[in-house]
Structure 1
Amino acid sequence: MILDTIARPPSLVEKVCQSLAAIARRDRADEENWLPTERELAAQLGVSRSVVREATKRLEQQGLLEIRQGLGTRTVNHLHKPLTGALELLVPEETERLRQLIEVRLMVEPENARLAAERATAKQITTLRAVHEKLALADSFEDSVMADMEFHRTLAVLSGNQIAGLLMQSLSELLQVSLKHGYKRVTPATAIKQHAAVVKAIEQRDSAAAARAMHRHLVTACNDLELN
């Protein structure tokens, strides 16, 4: 006789984590807000201060909260931190990390572009166009890197797949390193042209063309890094 597994109800700590994570997700649009004190949170949620303390520590490890001694706890958008630390331990050699990053991007980003062409709203496509124009107008090395990174993260969001968006956010630091290496060798001109091709395909709702354009762009990025 085979019995169904009985689902374990979430613990108080897990429930508090869920409540606080919902606040952090709501605030993550580049706004960092301070939470009530530990005592106030415990009173509002009807739990002990030790439960609140454990929950905030867990969310800090996940990159959703930052605990600052003497000041309090605030929401942050550091979701990339845990993955970045793990990658540096698992793949200590930077060149190999960048090579593996390109492999992952080739698996994921053409599909992000394809889905964006199918799912993105007109407003979202306008946002993507504006982000693309930031790279075209960038007048410094740092601005080019940040605009390029924003383009790829925005595209992931436009795919409509929240896990894809989170993945690109989590890879932010490594992506930034990759872009810096690339822009030390080449100008942004090619990236601007290839990003424009992706945007155009998405605007035309041509999912296959969007995927091809993104794949072509990533192959170029790999060549620029001289990782082949």
Structure 2
Amino acid sequence: MSVSFEPVKAGTSLADQVAQSLESSIRQGQLRPGDRLPTEVAMVAQFGVSRTVVREAISRLKSSGLVESKQGSGVYVQAARIEPLDLDKTQAASQEAVIQIVEVRRALEAEVAELAAARRNPEDIRRIHAAVQALADAVQQGRDGVSEDVAFHRAIAQAARNPFLLNTLDYLSQILAGATRVTRANEARRTDFSTAVTQEHAGIVQAIEAGDPAAARAAATAHMNNAISRIRQADPAFWAQDGRRLAQVLLPDAL
């Protein structure tokens, strides 16, 4: 599978940025188990970093069990260690399924935001702000911003300093990304929706940066509640034309 990457930016650890970009591609299924990563030379060129940075990033992915080296062949994505969720095909690709997944996100994101506000450090704040900017850039460039949106929420999860929560989000990442793809496509159809999302993200970041756990939990909960409301308000034509097609990623066979 051919995957390309954007150059990383100065600020946050370059190795962190490269590792996060690669991990995001793996978690979202752009790189699947058995796929070989681009060569070291190719990644140096695409990310605009040194070989040392690329090697450090790959080392981190190996430590996480996401990739493995094969002597003389390259670095490959490892197969998942647990089975995908067993979802009912007749229900998975539906508007109600997307809402139910956002309900799951609501429980997780509220806890993550509260912990992040209590435990974040300056590096976390820089990472979160970089994710916000990457999302804004994606929207400005006319892209759907799905991977950047997922990366934003994952940056907050990293600040929560709870590996079990982070691993749970990673396990659910493809399903969550599928639901995000639907919600963002719906929100892109209305300026008031997209503006509200930007403001809600800003509210979460502000509460985390201020070190206010209660406000962060409330902001994250409100964001998920509003996402559900926006899905319920979606034009029926959206679901008929785009929503159901985008939600196909929620089916077990797509996982």
TMscore range, shorter length? 0.5 to 0.7
> Is contact 2:69–2:76 with CA below 8 Å preserved after alignment?
no
Q: How does 1:1-228 map to 2 (within 5 A)?
A: 29=20, 30=22, 64-65=66-67, 72=73, 74-76=75-77, 82=82, 86-87=84-85, 89-92=86-89, 93-95=92-94, 96-138=96-138, 139-140=140-141, 142-187=143-188, 188-226=194-232
Superposed displacement of residue 108, structure 1:
1.3
Superposed displacement of residue 99, structure 1:
3.2
Identical-residue share of aligned pairs (%) = 28
CA distance in 2, matches of 1:108, 1:100: 13
Match of 1:45 in 2: none
Amino acid in the other structure paired with 1:103: E
> Is contact 1:113–1:211 with CA below 8 Å preserved after alignment?
yes
TM-score scaled to structure 1, two decimals?
0.63
Q: Quick check: 155-164 or 182-191, which moved more?
A: 182-191
After superposition, what is the alpha-carbon deviation per residue over 1:22-74, rounded to whole angstroms, capped at 9, x for unaligned? xxxxx95538599xxxxxxxxxxxxxxxxxxxxxxxxxxx9734698x97573
Higher alpha-carbon Rg: 1
The structure-2 alpha-carbon separation of the partners of 1:176 and 1:141, relative to structure 1 and needing over 3 Å to count, comes to: farther
Match of 2:11 in 1: none
Q: How many residues of Structure 1 are paired with residues of Structure 2 in the alignment? A: 171
After superposition, what is the alpha-carbon deviation per residue over 1:81-124, rounded to whole angstroms, capped at 9, x for unaligned? 955xx22x333222254233222212111110010011011111
> Is contact 2:124–2:158 with CA below 8 Å preserved after alignment?
no
Amino acid in the other structure paired with 1:64: L
CA distance in 1, matches of 2:102, 2:211: 26
Larger relative contact order (C-alpha < 8 A, sep ≥ 6)? 2
The gaps in structure 1 that reach 5 residues or longer are 1-26, 35-61
CA distance in 1, matches of 2:116, 2:74: 36
> Is contact 2:116–2:156 with CA below 8 Å preserved after alignment?
yes
TM-score scaled to structure 2, two decimals?
0.57
CA distance in 2, matches of 1:180, 1:163: 25
